[in-house]
């Protein structure tokens, strides 16, 4: 699996570089263009979940004890798992669905359409399942009843919010501002001030000095993250491409690499100050972290539900709001429960996505004259 993932990353990364240079002045504009901040907010909240909020403090401890990560500091390692290069996956697919897919319509080919929607539905339910699985890590002492109840409510909220595109925009922008407020609150509570933050954030430089190490899997844990990013790349690109507001290809690449990475770097730097100083996050801010994290999960599920229902024609207009919400909620909860009895993991989903990429590459090459003629 490592070899397959590594080859896929190399090919897609080189493709992104070619697109951003040779077709650098090509304008990318979606069917529902929005301002840059709204676009980034939709991308940021759709492509991330509660792990961004809760994992760093646990990961810092792991990265400081495992020998394989000794080449840099824990903050730089964590940033490498979540920031900068990995957002490049979304550039390729966003560019494709803005520029190429409207001309070639490869995702309307039955086999590719089926595989793509199986991945979307499976990943949507798997995301909810992982949330269910990791809840005891996020909320100490949570009972089974409240654990399942929270997941049921989150899936229900996501299904309800996916009924109208306006909810996606409102939820994405508001949750982004909530995330900024969380960063500010946790920073103020730490007493780190500007000097403490600058000192902590300096560790991010360890990522850029060793950036080449993060292209391919460093460890099995890093491979899990890369498979996750790769598995999500087609779905997120397909979803957010409709919101691109007229950026040139090179501008889109830089926006995806830098803009989402800035709040991630700030958040991780604040948490790293807590970790390195042995400061405990107060219960109030732990609750706030969980709340924002849960909203991120709703955002992620919302975007995936909207995507597969549109692809499959399972729309509100066709079935009515109540049937739409209840049907999606029942299907996803059923899959979440089923996942408890299956050995499914993200690597399997990632391999299917690699197969979709391979098919699209072959077909795009075969139809390159049609693409050039348009």
The residue ranges of every structural domain in the chain are 2-373
The CB-side HSE value for 66 (13 A sphere, CA atoms) comes to: 15
Cα–Cα dist 108/281, whole Å:
49
In this prediction, residues 204-229 reach a mean pLDDT of 93
pLDDT of residue 2 exceeding 80, the answer is yes
Gyration radius of the chain's alpha carbons? 20
Q: Which two tokens stand for residue 148?
A: 């399942």
249-258 helix and 36-46 helix, angle to the nearest 10 degrees: 50
Say whether pLDDT at 106 is over 90.
Answer: yes
- Say if residues 99 and 285 touch (Cβ distance below 8 Å): no
| Domain 2-373 is found in CATH 1.10.4160 | yes
pLDDT digits (tens, 9 = 90+) for 122-161: 888 888 888 888 888 777 888 889 999 999 999 999 999 9
104 contacts 370 by C-beta, under 8 angstroms: yes
Distance from the first to the final alpha carbon of the chain? 38
Q: Pick from 69, 15, 351: which is nearest to 210 by CA?
A: 69
More confident residue, 336 or 341: 336
Are 229 and 350 contacting, i.e. CB atoms less than 8 angstroms apart?
Answer: no
How far is 286 from 299, CA to CA, in rounded Å?
A: 20
Distance, CA of 198 to CA of 193 (rounded, Å)? 9
Which pLDDT value is given to residue 373? 59
pLDDT of residue 100: 92
Query: Could you report the per-residue pLDDT of 55-91, keeping only the tens digit for each?
Result: 898 899 999 999 999 999 999 999 999 999 999 999 9
How confident is the model at residue 132, as a pLDDT? 87
CA triple 86-216-265, angle to 5 deg: 35
Axis-axis angle for helices 144-161, 165-190 (nearest 10):
130
Pair 19, 96: CB distance under 8 Å: no
Mean pLDDT across the chain, nearest whole number? Answer: 90
**Mean pLDDT within 21-43:** 90
How far apart, in Å, are the Cα atoms of 62 and each of 203, 221, 274, 276, 297? 16, 10, 15, 13, 24
28 forms beta bridges with 247
Q: At what angle are helices 283-312 and 144-161 packed, to 10 degrees?
A: 50
CA distance 213 to 168: 36
Q: Among 343, 332, 373, which residue's Cα sits nearest to residue 120?
A: 332
The whole-number pLDDT of residue 125 equals 85
Band (54; pLDDT cuts 50, 70, 90): confident
């Amino acid at each position: 699996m490592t070899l397959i993932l590594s080859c896929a990353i190399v090919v897609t990364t080189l493709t992104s570089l070619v697109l951003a240079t040779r077709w650098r002045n090509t304008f990318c504009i979606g069917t529902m263009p929005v301002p840059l901040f709204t676009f980034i907010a939709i991308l940021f909240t759709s492509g991330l979940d509660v792990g961004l909020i809760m994992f760093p403090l646990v990961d810092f401890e792991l990265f400081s004890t495992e020998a394989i990560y000794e080449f840099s500091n824990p903050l730089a390692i964590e940033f490498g798992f979540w920031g900068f290069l990995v957002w490049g996956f979304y550039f390729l697919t966003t560019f494709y669905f803005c520029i190429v897919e409207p001309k070639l319509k490869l995702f309307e080919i039955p086999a590719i359409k089926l595989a793509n929607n199986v991945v979307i539905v499976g990943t949507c339910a798997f995301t909810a399942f992982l949330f269910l699985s990791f809840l005891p890590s996020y909320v100490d002492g949570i009972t089974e009843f409240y654990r399942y109840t929270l997941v049921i409510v989150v899936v229900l909220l996501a299904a309800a919010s996916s009924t109208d595109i306006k909810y996606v925009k409102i939820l994405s922008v508001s949750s982004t501002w909530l995330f900024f407020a969380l960063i500010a609150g946790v920073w103020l509570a730490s007493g780190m001030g500007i000097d403490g933050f600058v000192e902590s954030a300096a560790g991010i430089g360890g990522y850029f000095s060793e950036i080449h190490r993060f292209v391919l899997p460093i460890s099995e844990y890093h491979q899990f993250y890369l498979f996750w990013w790769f598995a999500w790349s087609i779905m997120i690109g397909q979803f957010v491409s409709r919101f691109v507001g007229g950026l040139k290809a090179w501008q889109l690449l830089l926006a995806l690499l830098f803009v989402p990475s800035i709040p991630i770097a700030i958040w991780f730097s604040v948490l790293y100050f807590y970790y390195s100083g042995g400061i405990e996050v107060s219960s109030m801010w732990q609750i706030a972290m969980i709340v924002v994290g849960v909203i991120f999960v709703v955002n992620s599920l919302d975007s995936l539900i909207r995507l597969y229902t549109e692809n499959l024609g399972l729309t509100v207009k066709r079935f009515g709001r109540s049937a739409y919400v209840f049907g999606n909620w029942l299907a996803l909860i059923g899959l979440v429960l089923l996942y408890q009895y299956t050995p499914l993991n993200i690597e399997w989903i990632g391999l299917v996505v690699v197969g979709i990429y391979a098919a699209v590459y072959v077909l795009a090459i075969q139809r390159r004259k049609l693409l050039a003629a348009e």
